[in-house]
Structure 1
């Protein structure tokens, strides 16, 4: 009999995973406690922007004309328990309020609600990013609460999705990591991922702690690389160097590589910031806090970049924001996403507004989410409208649309032709040729 899969939690990770598993040929049942989200997904729509995801859903959601019908959604735990052979848990693990540690309440709740409905052999697969040691605890919880007892096994299969590339990363991952206790869990996951394994995707089998640590270690490394080049940007500004040239030069070294070496206002989003903080917190609980003290400086450098952009904007306006109009191009924490969680762009915009500036924001996809989070900021329907009358323009999210803007056209409506490139992504020569004063972080002013 073909395996039947369920996906617990249909947010960004879960919705993508459910659609991708249907694409791989499995019958899939997604569960969420949010009835409105379930209704939306059942219509082939998603509550977030992710390139290609709605098209993938429409190809498989039952009831949509021309779909495979392999994907359905429900709010019933009992239905999930009866349906699935393998249950993927994809719920969120946000940062605890006022603490570095991650909030495990959603994961714990999902396991506690699922387990009583597991009356036959099943594999539960955790995909959420959790503190090391969680899997062993949750395996015990499953055995104690599931009617099938020891016949219910746990595996840990961390996700490595990049927002904006989530569909591709799920269907064609660069590696698959599984933490298992026995051969059955490994065999079942090899069956689930047979298609990408057939394409040559590496399959790494590990114990629970190692599988849990892979995700947090990867994010810690990426965060460190980003903060390293931003630290070099600070030194370049002090010494008169050019961080873009520096990054290009060291990126040719195969041991370093060019990715994540673009200096700017730093990282944000729902993963890197909270994951490195949770990693530090867990290391402290394990008595290994000194091993990760460097991550405090990584976090500090990252937050300092936002403040530095505010300082550069204030300097461009003669020392004060009061009475000036500021255009902010970007609200999402990265391009090809509408995710504004811990967005450096919105953080900068908010700081400037608090200091008296009149801020107008434009983003191709993140406007609705930005309005909910920062309702007092001004918002414009286009980049041109945002720039109209502005005394300084801040480029803070690296959307392709912004790289393709016509500096001459924007210059005709701007109050002053002054732009600060917080992502080191614009063509400086093009903007200067159009009469703009162009400045980027860690680079010479001319």
Structure 2
């Protein structure tokens, strides 16, 4: 089939390359000329494992091309996927839908009768219905459907080609049939498909993200209790995770979530529920958000304790800048938020990250950066593990000991082996384990 993907950011570029991979003729569309030129030349504008290979194959096969013209897109196909951003509004917690509206308005005059416009962006419930009315108001006879994405950055290619489920929100059997044809190879492989109305499809994505955020903040709330009680949150999570009603995934206590999805989506969901008059039904999301942000503050506080009570003049090595591993995305990065706060409190911060240094440097030029872990750790009073890259889990503490000023580690992701680090002479601390590992809670760090 011929189809377009409008918006070639983290979602759109992956979707376009994956649709070409399963055999469709795809035209990617973006108003950013530099990004479009880079993609057309076979260069990915961001880091995502596996995407470069798909992009190269798609372009070489002739099934994947790129343009900046919505008019060309409308001439190319009658099926259009909307993958533009829906960031948090600058005026409040709700979603900023200006990019979605602009694409629909720009596409509408050029759509052929019966074209199908399929939203993939995360939007407040009711957006598809509003956009359908917008199309009708200008005389367009296109259909609107919603096919939410459930991608994890760092795993986006696999999540597109082998998703947990497909969700089709449509208003007609014809639209459902078209989407079934698009995803036929996936459906034949046994991927579950849920067909529903557009409002439910929109809510599925918001509900899924809110539930995941709730699990993460729940275990981080338990981490606070564990610190107060001298318990170990990692053992707690392991034990309750055996319960099939709870499950172990997303019960990893630590610095919390960030990125371009969960934080802004739970705020937008809360705002939209308020507009619908049911704000009290999701009022708990305010506390979920607060718990998540509080983890960043707690990390800074613990770093100060490990540094001897004050951060002023202390050298802090920060391992991680991306909001999660296997990505160069720094949007609402907990790691960078902590690094910036350390800097504001007088620390001398040096950051390492395998992929996100350029983005971090552009956003926070006042911080210091190192292209190698050993350079980041030179002379450090405290080393902070803030993004859970596999590279950091494989570090040899014995090799780092001669480089640092004092062997003190704050594992804010609870993923390093405390026995390995303490055996090498390091003082180890982790959120939710202060009384159980390393004992920083019962013995104050040296003030030297």
Q: What's the CA shift for 1:386?
A: 0.4
State how 1:104-115 maps to structure 2 within 5 Å: 104-115=97-108
C-alpha separation between the residues in 2 aligned to 1:313 and 1:438?
11
Q: Check conservation: 2:210, 2:266, Cα contact below 8 A.
A: yes
Q: Which of 255, 279, 295 matches 1:289? A: 279
TM norm structure 2:
0.96
Question: Are 1:89 and 2:87 an aligned pair?
Answer: no
Question: Are 1:377 and 2:375 an aligned pair?
Answer: no
Question: Are 1:127 and 2:135 an aligned pair?
Answer: no
Q: Check conservation: 2:78, 2:112, Cα contact below 8 A.
A: no
Question: Are 1:78 and 2:71 an aligned pair?
Answer: yes
Q: What's the CA shift for 1:93?
A: 0.2
Partner in structure 1 of residue 218 of structure 2: 228
Moved beyond 2 Å, runs of 4+: 143-146
Deviates more, 1:97-106 or 1:278-287: 97-106
Task: Give SS of 2:143's match.
Answer: strand
C-alpha separation between the residues in 1 aligned to 2:116 and 2:33?
26
Q: What's the CA shift for 1:319?
A: 1.3
Question: Are 1:333 and 2:323 an aligned pair?
Answer: yes
1:142-198, CA deviations, whole angstroms, 9 ceiling, x for partnerless residues?
22335xx33x11110000000001011111111000110110000000000001100
Partner in structure 1 of residue 162 of structure 2: 172
Alignment: residue pair count: 436
Partner in structure 2 of residue 253 of structure 1: 243
- Flag structure 2 segments of 5+ consecutive residues without an equivalent: 439-448
Question: Are 1:361 and 2:361 an aligned pair?
Answer: no
Partner in structure 1 of residue 437 of structure 2: 445
Partner in structure 2 of residue 11 of structure 1: 9
Question: Are 1:268 and 2:258 an aligned pair?
Answer: yes
Q: What's the CA shift for 1:317?
A: 1.4
TM norm structure 1:
0.97
What is the Cα-based RMSD across aligned positions, in Å? 0.8
Task: Give SS of 2:325's match.
Answer: coil
Question: Are 1:26 and 2:16 an aligned pair?
Answer: no
1:190-220, CA deviations, whole angstroms, 9 ceiling, x for partnerless residues?
0000011001111101111100000000000
- Flag structure 1 segments of 5+ consecutive residues without an equivalent: 62-66
Q: What's the CA shift for 1:77?
A: 1.5
